[in-house]
Amino acid sequence: MKKLLTLCLLSFLFVFTQNTNAQNKPLAKHVILIGSDGFGAYAFDKAKVTNLRKLMKKGAYSLEARSVLPSSSAVNWASMIMGSGPELHGYTEWGSKTPEVPSRVIGEGGIYPSIISLIDAQMPNAKKGVAYSWGGIQYLFERDMVDLDYNGKSDEETMNKALAFIAKEKPIFTFIHFDQPDGAGHTIGHDTPEYYTEVEKIDSLVGEIVSTLKKENMLDETIIIFSSDHGGIDKGHGGKTLLEVEIPWIIYGKNIPPHGKLDTSIVTYDTAATIAYILGLEQPSYWRGVPILNALKK
């Protein structure tokens, strides 16, 4: 009996070790996170988003992923790349520039550690960049740790700068932030023709990103994640309705099987954890996100 228990324990340790080693092996050479501000999951009901639907069909997705509360910008962009909610990273408002609640942990970059600092510490020679249309993004990542830090005047300008960087540097990680359709939602209203026009423009930009990756012979070695910070209702957001809280979460690319719709629960801070897993990084114990393994395994 004692020998049997010993054999069982050794078998468990062998399997555990094998699984841990497998997890630490990068799944792709490049990860591109595309974030579209105010792109509610409900937009898929009315907008023509052919490029995003291609990624959904060939990869995996959820239209029931959720933001953290409040369903506003800075708090959710921080959560998306910091792997934790506002109770830990401390950014709690729409336009937070510094944490309103003291961050639970302060990293080498002087803020709660994001996916940027994880890459910097564990893959110090890897190229990484952030291009964003909303200036508020600059307060949410370690700017001195990236090879591209660019605040574009428009979504098109932001995309072009990011694509030039990707084509030249072949970075391991790039975060591309688009400010629309949030602008249309605030000025004209969500669930309006003008709002869906901006949604379709974002879809077109996603198509250009995919085309460029293909042209640069990078697509087969890349994983793309598309998501949003929040949705919206009338001319605002920040509340607790599903129209404001539910966001799209799409993953496509190398080693991503065509699972289609995912049934698992996804919160925006799971995005950082998923990126860390894809790159074979060790996730810090103080993060609260978990990798969406259902999307990554056959």
pLDDT digits (tens, 9 = 90+) for 72-110: 999 999 999 999 999 999 999 999 999 999 999 999 999
Domains observed in the chain: 29-269+277-296 (3.40.720.10)
Q: pLDDT-based confidence at 4, cuts 50/70/90?
A: very low
Between CA 207 and CA 48 the distance in angstroms is 13
How sure is the predictor about 23, in pLDDT bands with cuts at 50, 70 and 90?
A: low
Pairing of strands 246-253, 222-227: antiparallel
Distance CA 147, CA 238 (A): 33
Instruction: Look over the chain and give the mean of its residue pLDDT values, rounded to a whole number.
Output: 93
User: Is the pLDDT higher at 287 or at 297?
Assistant: 287
The pLDDT of residue 24 is 77
Per-residue pLDDT of 240-283, as tens digits, reads 999 999 999 999 999 999 999 999 999 999 999 999 999 999 99
Q: Is the pLDDT of residue 169 over 60?
A: yes
Q: Given this model, what pLDDT does residue 235 score?
A: 92
**19-33, 162-176, 213-227: the lowest-pLDDT one:** 19-33
Q: What is the pTM of this model?
A: 0.92
Q: Average pLDDT for residues 25-34, to the nearest whole number?
A: 97
Sign (positive or negative) of CA dihedral 10, 12, 18, 23? negative
Q: In angstroms, rounded to a whole number, what is the distance separating the alpha carbons of residues 142 and 31?
A: 18
pLDDT band at 21 (very low <50, low <70, confident <90, very high): very low
In angstroms, the Cα distances linking 53 to 48, 94, 111, 203, 277 are: 9, 29, 36, 9, 24
Which among 283, 255, 253, 254 is positioned nearest to 269, based on CA atoms? 283
Cβ density class 19-44: b for 16+ within 10 Å, e for less: eeeeeeebbbbbbbbbbbbbbbbbbb
pLDDT digits (tens, 9 = 90+) for 175-202: 999 999 999 999 999 999 999 999 999 9
Higher pLDDT among residues 98 and 25, named by residue: 98
Residue 6 has pLDDT above 90, yes or no: no
